[in-house]
């Protein structure tokens, strides 16, 4: 949040206006707010294991599996606007499907490389890529942490780490709209249990209000409407 305010003020002083909208145009590449995560215990990193798939430790794989299990429900919190899903499609430098990918910028979860000279994995992390600035950052983090904990509690596992091009692979797609994500969240009893009922009701009301305000607008007009307030 501080970064956004610094960028906005820096732009203002230059006579410009900064926006953090997911898209300025339906055909544009767009803007994400990605979340980098790593696991630590007693000051020791628990994410990297050189012998694991793509360097993921067993615990990191379990945490990733939790996010993949609840991926559709998570989108209701991490990409909640009416234009968020326009950019969550293949070949937009954005998440295109529910999979873990090694250095793959179209993965829901991208395994980030080690920094040069790091041999013990202190810089190793997992990047969640299906979030944008229309989301509440506190709710984004809350939903991701809950999903990771669910994977750890169940000792879940991922079946693969995608290393090739997405056109050559089969994976589950992301929900096509915010309404589909909201339906997935409501149908996911575990994900529902993470949040109080009044918060869920309020979030749904906000989504309905946005749709009412945007009714009748084209996708391009919707993108511009979000850009004006973000």
Report residue 1's pLDDT band, with 50, 70 and 90 as the boundaries.
confident
Give the pLDDT of residue 92.
84
Per mean pLDDT, which range of 8-12, 111-115, 180-184 is the poorest? 111-115
d(CA 44, CA 146): 21
Alpha helices in 14-130 (DSSP H): 58-69, 71-78
Are the CB atoms for 118 and 124 separated by under 8 Å?
yes
Domains of the chain from N-terminus onward:
2-229 (3.30.590.10)
Per-residue pLDDT, 166: 77
Residue 40 sits at φ, ψ, to 5 deg, of -135, 150
Per-residue pLDDT at 67 exceeds 80: yes
């Amino acid at each position: 949040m501080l970064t956004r305010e610094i960028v906005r003020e820096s732009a203002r002083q230059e006579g410009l206006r900064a926006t953090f909208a997911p898209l300025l145009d339906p055909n544009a590449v767009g803007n994400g707010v990605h979340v980098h995560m790593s696991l630590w215990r007693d000051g020791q990193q628990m994410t990297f294991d050189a012998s694991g798939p793509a360097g993921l430790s067993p615990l990191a794989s379990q945490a990733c599996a939790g996010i993949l299990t609840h991926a559709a429900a998570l989108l209701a919190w991490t990409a909640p606007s009416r234009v968020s899903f326009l950019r969550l499609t293949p070949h937009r430098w954005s998440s295109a499907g529910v999979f873990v990918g090694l250095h793959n910028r179209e993965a829901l979860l991208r395994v980030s490389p080690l920094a040069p000279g790091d041999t013990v994995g202190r810089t190793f992390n997992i990047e969640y890529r299906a979030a944008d600035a229309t989301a509440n950052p506190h709710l984004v983090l809350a939903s991701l942490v809950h999903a990771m904990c669910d994977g750890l509690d169940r000792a879940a596992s991922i079946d693969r780490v995608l290393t090739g091009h997405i056109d050559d692979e089969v994976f589950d797609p992301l929900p096509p709209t915010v309404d589909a994500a909201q339906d997935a969240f409501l149908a996911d009893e575990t994900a529902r249990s993470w949040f109080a009922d009044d918060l869920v009701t309020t979030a749904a009301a906000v989504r309905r209000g946005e749709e009412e305000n945007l009714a009748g607008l084209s996708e391009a007009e919707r993108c511009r409407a979000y850009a004006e307030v973000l």
